[in-house]
Structure 1
Amino acid sequence: MVKMFTGIIKTTGKIVDVKSEGKGKRTKIECKDEIKLKEGDSISIDGACITIEKVDGKIFEVFLSEETLKTTKFGRILRRGYPVNLEPALKIEDRFGGNFVKANVDGIGKIKKILKNREEMRIEIEFDKNFEKYLYQKAQIAIDGISLTLFERKGNRGIFKIIPYTYKNTTISLKRKEELVNVEFDIFAKIIENLLKGGK
């Protein structure tokens, strides 16, 4: 069954332990708030869908495979104390209130500019040039698991406005210039692209 998410972060957490295991990393994360988790559940960690292997109170354990480390930012930033966004996968009975997100990371972006003032926060993110086709006005793009709307495009860069709720309830307020982020582009744009290519 395909796991789906909304891009609305349920809580944040921090990495409390990282151990090498083969070519992967066994990782423990402590949730800021209590959320219902159990072994075998899927959870979006900064936009990457991972299976929970153990749960102990607010701490859960996952295994990040070699492939996950290669295709996400985790291969470069994994360390104790690192803050992450968390969203459990949708269940059938859950109310849907966001956008369709699969938590399958398409690539890695880099924050190039951050503007903060009393009214708002804006971030400018640089993407791989191969992804320019997905940078259209008001595109829905998941940045570290947060569903954001593209406000403005500059070549292979996108500017996003951050609303107060997102600023307060995600890790976005902790971001710094040159920091890496996991990126997932609009699922419907990718479906249409695939159909136009004849489903190849």
Structure 2
Amino acid sequence: MDTARSEGARHPVSLHVYRHGGLLSDDKIIKDSQKTAVLYFVKGTRTQSSFALTIHAGAPNDLGPPTCHVASTFNNTNYGLHISTSLNVTLFGAGTATRPGSARERWRTTLSSPSAFDATFWFRGPDDNEYRWRPSSLFWRNDLQCLDSRDSVVATYRVTTFAMRKDGELRVYPSGRFMLELLLATSLAMRTPSA
């Protein structure tokens, strides 16, 4: 293995998340670390009682093959705010145009919180280990961390404040690269109710 590849294997992968279609749109474009190539397009839909995200690979629109689908139902109301305590995440096989529940479904997990007042969301990874997204600060929820069962940071999501187009940056560390699309989907799901 050459030096450049071994150096890259030790550093986190950065994905830059941009809003697409204006401030009120739930659509997003995901770009590479140089902020030039579009890696994913996220088609978001929202109703009064739920939201859904479908992540499409390799296209600046929803014409690329879907790689992941996130569906949520808001099942708690706290002081007029909708709080979702459970989200269903479905990963598809590479390059398959399919939908949840079909034969080509690759893997499924649930992103859930123990209570409406807890900002930590747990999910099971493809390696059958538990992971959790949580705010890195109790008061400032601009930064999210994904931790494994040993409390090691697997990924971070830093929210960009005061930006019109950029939503944030997802950094996936080497220990989480095997589930990059799952970390992308779950981090965006964590952002969607408040974004």
Calculate the TM-score normalised by the size of structure 1: 0.29
Question: Greater helix share, 1 or 2?
Answer: 1
Higher relative CO (CA 8 A, sep ≥ 6), structure 1 or 2? 1
